[in-house]
């Protein structure tokens, strides 16, 4: 085989890498990935558009790099053979530092401290274009101590400082550089708060001396109002993917603290959808990724998907770690979680008076047997069935038990599964039943109870799956059941 070795033309290579599609915010997030992978517990981000040479820099207290490690880090496609997969390893291609930095500036400097030794290398496009070779600038100790915030790095036991300068793209498009620069930095702070929100308790991130705010897109602390569905583990190529559906509290009931945790969005409508995490780092959100329909009724729905970095190729994760595609092999599992979240969202949005809590009396009970099998049974504790049992004699009760058992035994589980796979809408729901019809059902059910039992079961009926959404009409229904005189 005749092989011909070719060298990448530096100018063309750099021009292409600068156009991968990073925004200022995604570029900053990519650099923070490196800080977390280095084991940092504190990250300080500083910027000054009014300095003699405007800069943006990120300092971490991670493990740092010695000279050979720093030179490797400055390579395009740096050697990652010794990088093992774990929850703090957020790198992917060995391109992030270079491609992210050069997407925003013409020059970046990396200063790193390890074992009391400090080294600094810089990548300057002016030099590369002049020489048409990928030269790095090496700073002497005298030169590097003149760089901004190096004194803070020197005070650390170990760490790394990345400095961006020569912001040609911002200067070329800005009406006023200072205003555009500050706006981009502010936007990146909001982006970082969301992308790394699951690291808030373990890593402190500061912007110009002020810690970023805490974010929680699922409002996990709002117990009793926020709803969490069942966590579904899915195996993909021997690796576990976790899928968790959430439903936010009704929008008009959100407190100021809850709105702050959501990031004070103008509307929560835009943030509905899938939240895809790679090693706890948020990759993509605010979209159903062609898995659902964005609508006003679905605005409270959120579905968290946790994937390990070992499945990057399956999810077709891009260099920027800001987009991915759902593998066909697990779409059905995700659809089930989406439906769980969407149904709850629609119910809460349409019927805001409903107590936002888990239904305590469901029509169907899911029972896990000792051999691992799952059985679905019609609950015998729903008020309608309890009332019916009271009205029947022994023979009729036995007949009712036989009828219910037959319904349970011949549950069309395969047809339901196939309809879900074919994305067919199953119409077995009471969401489209007229409210007046449901109220009349309650009145009829309560008429079957003895007078001394009515009050007890009247209270229970609103925690059942069939009638929970009528909770806000409780007092009106009470008058229809007990008469105009309020029952005490």
Listed ranges 185-194, 227-236, 283-292, 312-321; the one with the highest mean pLDDT: 185-194
- Residue 141 is predicted with a pLDDT of 92
What is the three-class DSSP state of 98?
helix
Choice among 142-146, 238-242, 395-399, 464-468 with the minimum mean pLDDT: 464-468
Helix (H) or strand (E) holding 374: strand 374-378
- Residue 431 is predicted with a pLDDT of 63
Rg (CA), the chain: 30
Strands 159-165 and 204-207: unpaired
- Residue 354 is predicted with a pLDDT of 47
Q: What is the mean pLDDT of the chain?
A: 84
Dump the DSSP string for 327-380: -GGGHHHHHHHHHHHHHHHHHHHH-TTS--S--SB-SEEEEE-TTS-EEEEE-T
| Ramachandran region, residue 472 (left: φ > 0; alpha: ψ -120 to 50; beta: rest) | alpha
Residues 28 and 191: beta-carbon distance below 8 Å: yes
Task: Say whether pLDDT at 18 is over 50.
Answer: yes
Task: Say whether pLDDT at 353 is over 80.
Answer: no
- Within 13 Å, how many C-alpha atoms sit on residue 194's CB side? 21
For residue 80, name the pLDDT band (cuts at 50, 70, 90): low
- Residue 487 is predicted with a pLDDT of 43
For residue 370, name the pLDDT band (cuts at 50, 70, 90): low
Residues 272-291, buried b or exposed e (16+ Cβ, 10 A)?
A: bbbbbbbbebbbbbbbbbeb
Question: What one-character DSSP code corresponds to residue 226?
Answer: B
Other CB atoms closer than 10 Å to residue 318's CB: what's the count?
17
CA–CA distance, 442 with 457 (Å, rounded to integer): 10
Task: Say whether pLDDT at 429 is over 80.
Answer: no
- Within 13 Å, how many C-alpha atoms sit on residue 154's CB side? 10
Task: Say whether pLDDT at 486 is over 50.
Answer: no
CA–CA distance, 203 with 226 (Å, rounded to integer): 26
Residue with tokens 């023979």: 395
Residues 348 and 356: beta-carbon distance below 8 Å: yes
Span 402-420, average pLDDT: 81
- Residue 485 is predicted with a pLDDT of 47
Instruction: Give 185-241 pLDDT, tens digit per residue.
Output: 999 999 999 999 999 999 999 999 999 999 999 999 887 788 888 888 888 888 888
Query: Which residues make beta-bridge pairs with 233?
Result: 242
Instruction: Give 24-62 pLDDT, tens digit per residue.
Output: 999 999 999 999 999 999 999 999 999 999 999 999 999
Residue with tokens 């799952």: 374
Polymer length of the chain: 488
CA–CA distance, 170 with 173 (Å, rounded to integer): 5
Span 392-397, average pLDDT: 85
- Residue 169 is predicted with a pLDDT of 92
For residue 254, name the pLDDT band (cuts at 50, 70, 90): confident
Q: Retrieve residue 6's tokens.
A: 């070719």
Burial status of residue 355 (CB atoms within 10 A of its CB: 0-12, 13-18, 19 or more): middle
Question: What one-character DSSP code corresponds to residue 361?
Answer: B
- Residue 469 is predicted with a pLDDT of 77
Residues 301 and 338: beta-carbon distance below 8 Å: yes
Residues 107 and 125: beta-carbon distance below 8 Å: yes
The closest alpha carbon to 87, from 198, 191, 192, belongs to: 198
Task: Say whether pLDDT at 432 is over 70.
Answer: no
- Residue 356 is predicted with a pLDDT of 42
Q: Retrieve residue 225's tokens.
A: 């109002």
Mark out the alpha helices in 81-217 (DSSP H runs): 96-102, 125-131, 141-144, 150-154, 168-173, 177-195
Other CB atoms closer than 10 Å to residue 260's CB: what's the count?
14
Burial status of residue 89 (CB atoms within 10 A of its CB: 0-12, 13-18, 19 or more): middle
Helix (H) or strand (E) holding 208: none
Q: What is the largest distance, in Å, between two alpha-carbon atoms of the chain? A: 98
pTM for the full predicted model: 0.69
Choice among 193-197, 266-270, 350-354 with the minimum mean pLDDT: 350-354
For residue 319, name the pLDDT band (cuts at 50, 70, 90): low
Handedness of CA 233, 235, 241, 243 (dihedral sign): negative
């Amino acid at each position: 085989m005749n092989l011909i070795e070719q060298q990448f033309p530096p100018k063309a290579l750099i021009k292409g890498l600068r156009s991968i599609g990073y925004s200022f915010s995604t570029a900053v997030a990519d650099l923070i990935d490196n800080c977390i992978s280095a084991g940092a517990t504190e990250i300080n981000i500083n910027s000054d558009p009014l300095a003699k040479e405007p800069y943006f820099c990120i300092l971490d207290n991670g493990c740092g790099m010695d000279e050979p490690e720093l030179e490797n880090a400055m390579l395009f496609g740096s050697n990652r053979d010794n990088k093992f997969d774990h929850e703090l390893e957020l790198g992917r291609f060995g391109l992030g530092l270079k491609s992210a930095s050069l997407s925003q500036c013409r020059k970046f400097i990396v200063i790193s401290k390890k074992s009391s030794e400090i080294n600094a290398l810089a990548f300057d496009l002016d030099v590369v274009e002049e020489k048409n070779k990928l030269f790095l600038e090496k700073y002497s100790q005298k030169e590097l101590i003149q760089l901004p915030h190096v004194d803070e790095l020197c005070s650390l036991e170990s760490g790394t400082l990345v400095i961006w300068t020569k912001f040609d793209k911002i200067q070329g498009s800005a009406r006023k550089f200072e205003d555009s620069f500050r706006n981009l930095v502010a936007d990146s702070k909001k982006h970082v708060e969301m992308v790394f929100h699951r690291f808030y308790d373990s890593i402190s991130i500061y912007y110009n001396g002020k810690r970023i705010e805490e974010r929680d897109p699922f409002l996990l602390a709002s117990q009793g109002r926020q709803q969490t569905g069942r966590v579904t583990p899915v195996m993909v190529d021997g690796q576990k993917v976790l899928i968790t559906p959430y439903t936010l509290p009704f929008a008009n009931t959100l407190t100021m603290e809850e709105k702050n945790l959501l990031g004070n969005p103008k509307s929560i409508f835009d943030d509905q959808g899938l939240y895809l995490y790679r090693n706890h780092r948020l990759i993509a959100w605010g979209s159903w990724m062609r898995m659902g329909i964005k609508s006003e009724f679905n605005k409270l729905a959120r579905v968290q998907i946790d994937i390990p970095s070992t499945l990057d190729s399956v999810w077709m994760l891009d260099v920027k770690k800001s987009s991915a595609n759902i593998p066909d092999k697990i779409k059905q599992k995700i659809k089930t979680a989406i439906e769980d979240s969407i149904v709850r969202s629609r119910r809460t949005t349409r019927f805001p008076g409903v107590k936002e809590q888990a239904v305590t009396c469901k029509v169907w009970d899911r029972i896990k047997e000792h051999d691992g099998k799952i059985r679905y049974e019609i609950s015998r504790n729903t008020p309608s069935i309890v009332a019916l049992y009271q009205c029947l004699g022994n023979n009729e009760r036995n007949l009712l038990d036989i009828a219910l058992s037959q319904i349970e035994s011949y549950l069309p589980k395969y047809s339901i599964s196939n309809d879900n796979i074919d994305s067919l809408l199953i119409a077995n729901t009471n969401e489209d039943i007229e409210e007046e019809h449901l109220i009349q059902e309650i009145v009829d059910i309560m008429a079957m109870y003895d007078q001394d039992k009515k009050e007890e079961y009247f209270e229970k009926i609103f925690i059942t799956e069939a009638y929970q959404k009528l909770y806000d009409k409780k007092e009106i229904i009470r008058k229809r059941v007990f008469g105009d005189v309020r029952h005490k």
